[in-house]
Amino acid sequence: MSVMRFGLFIFAVSLDSQRDGEVISKTLRQVEFAEELGFDAVFLAEHHFDGSSAYVDPVVFAAALAAKTTSIEIGFAVVQLALHHPVRLAEQTALIDQLSGGRLIVGTGRGSLYNIFEYLGYGVSIEDGADMAAESEDLLLKAWTQTNVRHEGKFWQSRFGEIRPRPYRDPHPELVRAAMSQASVTEMARLGRPILMGSAPSRLIADRFALYKAEMKKAGFDDKEIAQRMSRSWVARGACLAPTDEEAIEIGTAAHLREFEHATKARERWNPSLSAEKLPAGYNTPPSVEEDLGDTLLAGSPDTLRKHLADLEASGVPNVFFQMDIGDMDEHLVRRSMKLFAEEVMPEFS
């Protein structure tokens, strides 16, 4: 029998600023329920200024989850490295690693692919985002693992003896990175680091994981090491379960459209007006709602979800983390979806 691990993507959209506190409270309850149901991990997003992530700061929120839970892993998908000072982030994550007893997964990335306004709010150029992320990760690793640190980089210059507390895990919390392009997947494979993949067609995911394993092999990793890194890699999906396909599709599609419309309006309002030829390096054109929906949402009865997961497994997907609270969905619908998945789908793959 196949073994997959399942997580919850805590992408807590708040459609109304007056409801931010309510959404945050609902999200805390969902994480506790996920642990009760036997989910392996929860992953936190980072988005600013538009309510796409009501708790806004995954690092602070992870500390709350460490106090609220006892066994479920707590991950970032992802922390936007360009918006954090890496030494401060090293201290914060070491503390959360201690508070959680080593349950922290630090997922890193450049961050938003579409929201220029998030960078503008922090006074960061989106063109610098990729370079800042690379340097930040380098300094983050130094801070976690070294003493008498000396770092002279393009964006940060830092000198200190050591961070305190030290991370719980030796040598540091698990470090993964968002990767989708051939170049980024190849880079992570050569480093021997697990990857996080966003929603994408199954054929593309299959190609990327085949590339990942082939490049790890070229880099000298043996089959056991490759299998271990694969076992710690994840793919994101949205999911809506109901007793019938018709009900799940109706609820899930409406929720997805709400969320898509909310994100689109924020970009239209806050992103600078730029013609296509003036778009900054690193900026991607957002997908259409049809493309996004087709690549993102798995909706159906438990039987249908089992079939979807079998297809993902055949594409080489090792583990999946699901956004089940889509578009600020009613809490009882989210909990029903989680419960149906945990009780009627999860056992078939574990």
Of all residues in the chain, the percent with pLDDT exceeding 70 is 93
The residue that leads in pLDDT, 50 or 284, is 50
CA angle 35, 37, 40 (to 5 degrees): 55
- Alpha carbons 265 and 52: distance in angstroms, whole number: 11
315 close to 206: Cβ distance less than 8 angstroms: yes
Q: For the chain, percent helix, then strand, then coil, each to nearest 5? A: 50, 15, 35
Q: What is the pLDDT of residue 249?
A: 95
Residue 291 pLDDT class (50, 70, 90 cuts): low
How many domains would you assign to the chain?
1
User: For residue range 101-152, what is the model confidence (pLDDT) as tens digits?
Assistant: 999 999 999 876 689 999 999 999 888 888 899 999 999 999 999 999 999 9
CATH at 160? 3.20.20.30
User: For residue range 301-313, what is the model confidence (pLDDT) as tens digits?
Assistant: 999 999 999 999 9
Helix ranges (H only) for 55-163 are 58-68, 86-100, 116-121, 129-145
Domain that holds residue 273: 5-349
User: For residue range 53-87, what is the model confidence (pLDDT) as tens digits?
Assistant: 999 999 999 999 999 999 999 999 999 999 999 99
Residue 168 — φ and ψ, nearest 5°?
-70, -45
